[in-house]
Structure 1
Amino acid sequence: MNKTVKKLDNNLVKALTIACESFKDVVPGFQWLTHSADYANFPGSLVITCVFNTNLEIQQVLARSEDALMRKTIQQQLLKVGVLLKDVRRNVFLDSEEACLAQHNGDWQARIL
């Protein structure tokens, strides 16, 4: 990872940490988030995964349209560090510990990549 990419990744982490902490207080069931990207194709390759405990919690978030609020918050935080996403719905996904455990034996590294 060269110096420019490292700085970009550090800024992403800072922005996403702010979003993550804000979700913990207002989005029931939200646990954590992570990101991955191919920096040769950035920001189009950026994938942000918001993790909940269960699939039911995700369904409830979708029913209350809180996913739109989460995407908007993430997009606002990314803009503050100079990252513009064309369509945040293509970059931000909801997932659950329950699904990862069932499909990937709890191995998030394998699930995300």
Structure 2
Amino acid sequence: MTKTEKLKDKAIRHALTLACEQAKDKVAGFSWLTHQANLKQLPQSLTVQCYFTDAHSLAQARDKQTLACVVELVVTELANIGYHVKPDAVSFTSE
């Protein structure tokens, strides 16, 4: 990994950590998130997987339409560092 790629990865991890902490505060049952990316093809290769504590929590978040809040947090934090991702780059599952 080049120095530039390390800096990009660090910035992405920091932005997603901020989004994760906000999501934990705002969305019941939200647990954590992870990402995958080809650092040579950003932002189009960037995907974010969000995890809820269980299937019931995920279903409740879908029913209350709070998943859009999590998507907005992720997209906004990434945009703040210059990576404009589409909302469909964010997906959800339960642990």
Distance in 2 between residues matched to 1:31 and 1:18, nearest whole Å: 13
1:47-78 CA-to-partner distances (Å, cap 9, x unmatched) read 11111111121111111111111111111111
- Correspondence list, 1:1-113, <5 A: 1-85=1-85, 87-89=86-88, 91-97=89-95
Cα-Cα RMSD: 1.0
Q: What TM-score does the superposition give when structure 1 sets the normalisation length?
A: 0.79
Runs (4+) of structure 1 exceeding 2 A deviation are: none
Contact 2:8-2:39 at 8 Å conserved across structures: no
Distance in 2 between residues matched to 1:39 and 1:10, nearest whole Å: 11
Distance in 2 between residues matched to 1:16 and 1:35, nearest whole Å: 8
The aligned counterpart of 1:110 is none
Q: Which runs of 5+ in 2 are unaligned?
A: none
Q: What TM-score does the superposition give when structure 2 sets the normalisation length?
A: 0.93
Q: Which one has the largest radius of gyration?
A: 1
Contact 2:33-2:49 at 8 Å conserved across structures: yes
Distance in 2 between residues matched to 1:46 and 1:62, nearest whole Å: 23
Distance in 2 between residues matched to 1:54 and 1:12, nearest whole Å: 26
1:29-56 CA-to-partner distances (Å, cap 9, x unmatched) read 1111111111232211111111111112
Distance in 1 between residues matched to 2:59 and 2:45, nearest whole Å: 26
Between Structure 1 and Structure 2, the one with more helix by share is 1
Q: Which runs of 5+ in 1 are unaligned?
A: 98-113
1:91-112 CA-to-partner distances (Å, cap 9, x unmatched) read 1111111xxxxxxxxxxxxxxx
Count of aligned pairs between the two proteins: 95
Structure 1 counterpart of 2:91, one-letter code: F
